[in-house]
């Protein structure tokens, strides 16, 4: 045990020293220290998780999850829980799915109905939780005077697609059907999420738009969402794929844990060899990359894929919302998209906003030239993240 502990200690020290040395792009938001420290921690966690798996201590995704959550939870302990004042927070179940409900006390006393917001936390479908996002979701409930439901969907790789998606749909439907119990106006319910949570929010919105017997979602607000897995060579993947805050290496692993928990083809995905010429010249390629023009439309059922488990799922909009046809995008509710320059997922969000706008959906797009992936969670800690939070809240106040 002592030997193992010593090994881990040495590994941490070496990795930290190494990542301290990694440059952070000049353009990243002040204080750049945040991006640097956050990146250093993430990268170190990732490598320790791999070392752990190698030493026979848990799998890589399990290790990433437990270390990340430990770090975040220590941060939360230090923060205290005063940020929850004025809220009633309840952990409960919505149709078999765990959720945390935040009800502003003032809203309950006022007697009139309030808006509602479903929130899906980020973490690559693999890590983080309603706990790690507690300050953010509590802040939304307070600032909006809305009932916020933070959904504790099942995580990959223990539960691959469509588990997280199914949970997200079930919780959303339940809230729409039972809004009155929470004093919520069912015609004023929106949906939101960051990163993998933005993916789930977008996927749920696409599917529920087709349901006839439910109230319509009032808006979707997508924070640097992950929306496609057919092209890992978009300009941000090429230019910022090395960033420690979210590297291409990390993002491809996360997609694969969610898809089928099989990383043996990771290099094939990274090289964009998981799709053939057919897809690369099809409408799907055009959905991701505006440079791809003169596409040859293909039907999903005619696409030839390499022999990889469940690979055809990458064209399923419930898994990758950017794969939705224009006909599916038409009629979606007003949409807010937040993107960051220093983020491999930049163009996922940029292209979704552009395509929605073209099909006539009302879109508000905030792009942060100096922002980086995950920065919104630091809304309390530094200026640009605080400004981004304000702009996001302003949108929600007007559109919920």
Ligand X SMILES: *[C@@H]1O[C@H](CO)[C@@H](O)[C@H](O)[C@H]1NC(C)=O
The nearest distance, CB 159 to ligand X, in angstroms, is: 9
The nearest distance, CB 163 to ligand X, in angstroms, is: 8
| CA pair distance 370, 372, nearest whole angstrom | 7
Instruction: List CB contacts of 22: < 8 A, sequence separation 6 or more.
Output: 36, 39, 40, 43, 244
Contact region for ligand X (CB under 6 A) — 224-232, 242-250, 307-315, 345-353? 307-315
- When CB distances to ligand X are compared, the closest residue is 260
By CB under 6 A, residue 271 contacts ligand X: yes
By CB under 6 A, residue 306 contacts ligand X: no
Contact region for ligand X (CB under 6 A) — 123-131, 206-214, 305-313, 350-358? 305-313
The nearest distance, CB 225 to ligand X, in angstroms, is: 21
Tell me the catalytic residues. 195, 343, 373
By CB under 6 A, residue 93 contacts ligand X: no
Restricted to residues 153-172, the positions that interact with ligand X (CB under 6 A) are: 160, 162
By CB under 6 A, residue 398 contacts ligand X: no
3-state SS, residue 58: coil
Sign of CA dihedral 154, 377, 196, 203: positive
Question: Which CB atom, from 39 or from 241, has the smaller least distance to ligand X?
Answer: 241
By CB under 6 A, residue 260 contacts ligand X: yes
By CB under 6 A, residue 231 contacts ligand X: no
DSSP secondary structure, 190-243, as one string: EEEEETHHHHHHHHHHHHHTT-SSSPPP--EEEES----SS-S-SHHHHHHTT-
By CB under 6 A, residue 312 contacts ligand X: no
Question: Which CB atom, from 192 or from 247, has the smaller least distance to ligand X?
Answer: 247
Q: Which of 330, 327, 322, 337 is nearest to 292 (CA)?
A: 322
By CB under 6 A, residue 268 contacts ligand X: yes
Contact 208, 172 (CB under 8 A): yes
Contact 191, 372 (CB under 8 A): no
By CB under 6 A, residue 267 contacts ligand X: yes
Any idea what the Cα angle at residue 338 is, between residues 242 and 387, rounded to 5°?
A: 100
Question: Which CB atom, from 219 or from 282, has the smaller least distance to ligand X?
Answer: 282
The nearest distance, CB 137 to ligand X, in angstroms, is: 29
Q: Where are the alpha helices (DSSP H) in the chain?
A: 2-20, 32-54, 60-79, 105-110, 134-144, 163-177, 196-208, 235-240, 248-259, 266-270, 277-280, 283-288, 326-329, 346-358, 383-399
Interaction site with ligand X (CB under 6 A): 160, 162, 260, 267-268, 271, 273, 309-310, 313
């Amino acid at each position: 045990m002592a030997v193992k502990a010593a090994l881990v200690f040495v590994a941490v020290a070496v990795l930290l020293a190494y990542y301290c040395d990694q440059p952070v792009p000049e353009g990243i938001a002040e204080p750049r220290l945040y991006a640097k420290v956050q990146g250093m921690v993430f990268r170190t966690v990732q490598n320790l998780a791999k070392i752990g798996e190698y030493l026979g201590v848990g799998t890589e995704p399990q290790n990433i999850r437990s270390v990340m959550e430990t770090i975040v939870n220590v941060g939360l302990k230090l923060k205290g829980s005063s940020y929850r004042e004025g809220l009633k927070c309840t952990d409960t179940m919505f149709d078999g799915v765990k959720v945390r409900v935040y009800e502003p006390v003032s809203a309950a006393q006022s007697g009139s109905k309030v808006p509602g917001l479903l929130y899906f936390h980020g973490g690559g479908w693999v890590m983080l939780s309603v706990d790690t996002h507690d300050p953010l979701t509590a802040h939304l409930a307070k600032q909006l005077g809305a009932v916020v439901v933070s959904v504790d969907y099942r995580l990959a790789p223990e539960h691959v697609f469509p588990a997280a998606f199914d949970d997200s749909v079930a919780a959303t439907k339940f809230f729409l059907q039972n809004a009155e119990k929470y004093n919520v106006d069912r015609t004023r319910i929106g949906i939101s999420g960051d990163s993998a949570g933005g993916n789930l929010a977008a996927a749920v919105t696409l599917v529920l738009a087709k349901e006839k017997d439910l109230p319509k979602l009032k808006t979707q607000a997508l924070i640097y969402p992950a929306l496609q897995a057919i092209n890992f060579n978009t300009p941000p993947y090429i230019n910022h794929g090395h960033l420690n805050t979210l590297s291409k290496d990390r993002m491809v692993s996360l997609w694969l844990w969610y898809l089928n928990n099989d990383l043996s083809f990771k290099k094939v995905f990274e090289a964009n060899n998981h799709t053939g010429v057919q897809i690369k010249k099809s409408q799907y390629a055009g959905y991701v990359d505006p440079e791809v023009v003169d596409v040859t439309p293909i039907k999903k059922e005619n696409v030839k894929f390499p022999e990889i488990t469940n690979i055809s799922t990458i064209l399923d909009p419930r898994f990758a919302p950017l794969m939705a046809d224009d006909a599916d995008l038409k009629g979606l509710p007003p949409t807010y998209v937040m993107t960051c320059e220093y983020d491999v997922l930049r163009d996922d969000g940029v292209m979704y906003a552009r395509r929605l706008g073209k099909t006539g959906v009302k879109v508000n797009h905030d792009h942060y030239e100096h922002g980086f992936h995950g920065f919104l969670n630091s809304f309390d800690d530094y200026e640009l993240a605080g400004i981004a939070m304000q702009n996001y809240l302003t949108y929600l106040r007007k559109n919920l």
